[in-house]
Structure 1
Amino acid sequence: MRIASILLILWLIAGVIAAGQRDYYAGPVENCNQGATIAVTILAGPLNYLGMNPKIACQTPQPSQ
């Protein structure tokens, strides 16, 4: 269990570093697309260094008029 926890933490750290290298933390998150892309990049972890470049497109519901 301890080894799995350490591997998970290292996996997520690799994702955080990859997101930082892509300048995803340069400014505030302005929309759903940016937040989701940052999250997926972190979850992808070391796969980012094997050519994976996850992007998410989402739309938040607009209020009715």
Structure 2
Amino acid sequence: MRPISLIIVIWLVIGVIAAGQRNYFDSGPVNCAGFGNIALTILAGPLNYMGVNPKVADCNVPQPSA
């Protein structure tokens, strides 16, 4: 595995751990904002432990046409 790939995998694993510590995986049905919070937390990775707390406040998903 290349060093950059290893760094990316470790970064994402740390993000998953942070999301787990915030109990994002224990909640009920996930809506758009909930999924966004989980995804941003995972992508922020180690930054979560430096005070970054990403949140998705408003999420508008296009609805199918009638």
* TM-score, normalised by the number of residues in structure 2: 0.85
Deviation at residue 29 of structure 1 after TM alignment = 3.8
Structure 2 unaligned regions, length at least 5: none
The alpha-carbon deviation at position 60 of structure 1 amounts to: 2.3
SS in 1 for 2:35: helix
Residues 29, 35 of structure 1: 8 Å contact kept: no
C-alpha RMSD over aligned residues: 1.8
Name the count of aligned residue pairs: 65
Q: Find the aligned partners of 1:40 and 1:29 in 2 and give their Cα distance.
A: 18
The answer to whether structure 1 residue 20 and structure 2 residue 47 are counterparts is no
Partner of 2:30: 30
Distance 1:51 1:10 in 2: 19
> Kindly, what percent of the aligned residue pairs are identical?
57
Over 3 Å off, 4+ runs: 61-65
What is the TM-score with the length of structure 1 in the denominator?
A: 0.86
